[in-house]
């Protein structure tokens, strides 16, 4: 962008007058074999050594009658605007990739927490089934099956932790810091950022107008069009104005600031490529070809941008539907799990009493007063 800005400054300066100051001091030794030297040598007290001094102030200005310089500046401005949009596009790309990495990190951390929670739940379930198995109320295959499921859940934890570490390192690098710089901060669990609502994103046309890649392509097209004008202006003559004011003297002729040493000039310049129209035509055709190429690139950019916007809107709508469906469906397994965990103690107590009756069937006979109660506890009838 700095280079494009410098080209704009240079193109603007071409529209303005330019001036410079020059000066020189010289000491020479005159030859007497030249005609001038022979004449000077015939004068009395002639000194072959001589000094000369000169200082000048000159200015020039190319009058942009046919607009070539203005079109050149328009092309430079368009390139600068394209560079600005390109910088914005780069910033947006970096910000989007950073946000994507952060969301992925929080998602992986949430999956890791769920996996650890599932492992804890599966561990508690295994302990209950082992307790039932020790009392003869659960088969051995149930213990092994639950233990295998626990191992499968536990095996996902290291893999998820590896992905979490990789996401943290990638996020650090994206932020321009060494890997591991923000590990302590990022290790603290955080909520997954929510996607914006569909009503907050505007219309597809609004998104297309804000896309930097379309702005870049459009500005490149404008610059190519302006360069056609620069090439066409070569058909016409170029006029310039110039002026010179200064003084010149030699050591024996007076001093540099005396009135006799003053010199001045006014210049009207004309430059016209009158017999170079073949080359001018070639340059115009080249500029038109570049414009056609820029136009094709602009159209292709707009088509791809339209595709991206439509895909993004479709993904956002479908993700909202999927989120609401998964939210409703996700409650059912949790409720079923709570019901199963509440049932386990009741199932555990009831079979225990029946098992006690099977192990000691005469216990009720030793206590006739409690026989009816014990018989009821064993699943029988007191009548």
Neighbours of 295 (CB within 10 A): 15
Q: Go through 276-291 and write b for each residue having 16 or more CB atoms within 10 A of its CB, e for each that does not.
A: eeeeeeebbeebbebb
In this model, does residue 259 exceed pLDDT 60? yes
The class of domain 91-193 in CATH terms is mainly alpha
Distances (CA, A) of 165 to 153, 160, 182, 313, 340: 19, 9, 11, 32, 36
d(CA 112, CA 104): 12
- C-alpha 72/C-alpha 228 separation (Å) is 9
Sequence spans of domains, the chain: 21-63+238-271, 91-193
Q: Is 264 left (phi over 0), alpha (psi -120 to 50) or beta?
A: beta
Q: What is the pLDDT of residue 342?
A: 66
What is residue 235's DSSP assignment? G
pLDDT tens per residue, range 322-341: 878 877 766 666 666 667 66
**pLDDT tens figures, 96-126:** 999 999 999 999 999 999 999 999 999 999 9
Contact (Cβ atoms closer than 8 angstroms) between residue 170 and residue 181: no
Structure tokens at 284: 């115009």
Q: For 265, phi and psi rounded to 5 degrees?
A: -160, 150
Separation CA 122–CA 118 (nearest Å): 6
pLDDT band at 43 (very low <50, low <70, confident <90, very high): confident
Q: pTM score, two decimals? A: 0.71
Instruction: Supply the Cα-derived Rg of the chain in whole angstroms.
Output: 46
Question: pLDDT, tens digit, for every residue of 347-374?
Answer: 444 444 444 444 333 333 333 333 333 3
Is residue 185 over pLDDT 80?
yes
**23 touches 54 (CB < 8 A):** yes
Tokens of 333: 């397994």
Q: Which has more pLDDT, 318 or 374?
A: 318
So what's the architecture of 21-63+238-271 in CATH? Single Sheet (2.20)
Element (H, E) at 172: helix 140-174
Q: Tell me the pLDDT tens digit for each residue of 122-157.
A: 999 999 999 998 888 888 888 899 999 999 999 999
pLDDT of residue 253: 53
Site of tokens 């066409």 = 232
């Amino acid at each position: 962008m700095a280079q494009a800005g410098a080209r704009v400054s240079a193109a603007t300066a071409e529209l303005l007058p330019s001036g410079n100051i020059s000066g020189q001091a010289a000491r020479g030794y005159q030859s007497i074999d030249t005609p001038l030297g022979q004449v000077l040598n015939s004068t009395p007290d002639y000194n072959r050594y001589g000094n000369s001094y000169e200082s000048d102030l000159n200015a020039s200005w190319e009058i942009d009658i046919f607009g070539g310089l203005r079109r050149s500046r328009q092309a430079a401005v368009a390139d600068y605007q394209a560079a600005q949009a390109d910088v914005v596009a780069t910033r947006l790309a970096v910000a989007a990739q950073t946000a994507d990495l952060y969301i992925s990190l929080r998602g992986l951390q949430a999956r890791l927490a769920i996996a650890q929670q599932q492992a804890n739940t599966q561990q508690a379930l295994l302990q209950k089934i082992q307790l039932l198995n020790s009392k003869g109320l659960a088969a051995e295959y149930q213990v092994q099956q639950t233990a295998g499921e626990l191992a499968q859940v536990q095996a996902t934890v290291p893999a998820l932790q590896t992905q979490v570490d990789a996401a943290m390192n990638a996020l650090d690098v994206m932020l321009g810091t060494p890997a591991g710089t923000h590990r302590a901060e990022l290790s603290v669990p955080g909520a997954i950022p929510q996607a914006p609502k569909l009503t907050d994103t505007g219309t597809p046309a609004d998104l297309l107008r804000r896309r930097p890649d379309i702005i870049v392509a459009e500005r490149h097209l404008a610059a190519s069009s302006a360069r056609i004008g620069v090439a066409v202006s070569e058909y016409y003559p170029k006029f310039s104005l110039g002026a010179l004011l200064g003084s010149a003297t030699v050591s024996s002729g007076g001093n540099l600031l005396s009135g006799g040493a003053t010199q001045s000039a006014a210049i009207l310049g004309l430059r016209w490529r009158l017999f170079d129209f073949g080359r001018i035509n070639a340059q115009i055709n080249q500029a038109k070809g570049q414009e056609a190429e820029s136009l094709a690139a602009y159209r292709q950019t707009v088509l791809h941008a339209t595709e991206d916007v439509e895909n993004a809107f479709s993904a956002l709508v479908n993700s909202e539907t999927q989120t609401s469906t998964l939210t409703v469906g996700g409650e059912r397994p949790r409720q079923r799990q709570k019901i199963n965990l509440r049932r386990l103690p009741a199932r555990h107590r009831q079979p225990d009493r029946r098992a006690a009756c099977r192990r000691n069937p005469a216990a009720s006979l030793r206590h006739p007063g409690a026989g009816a109660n014990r018989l009821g506890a064993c699943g029988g009838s007191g009548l």
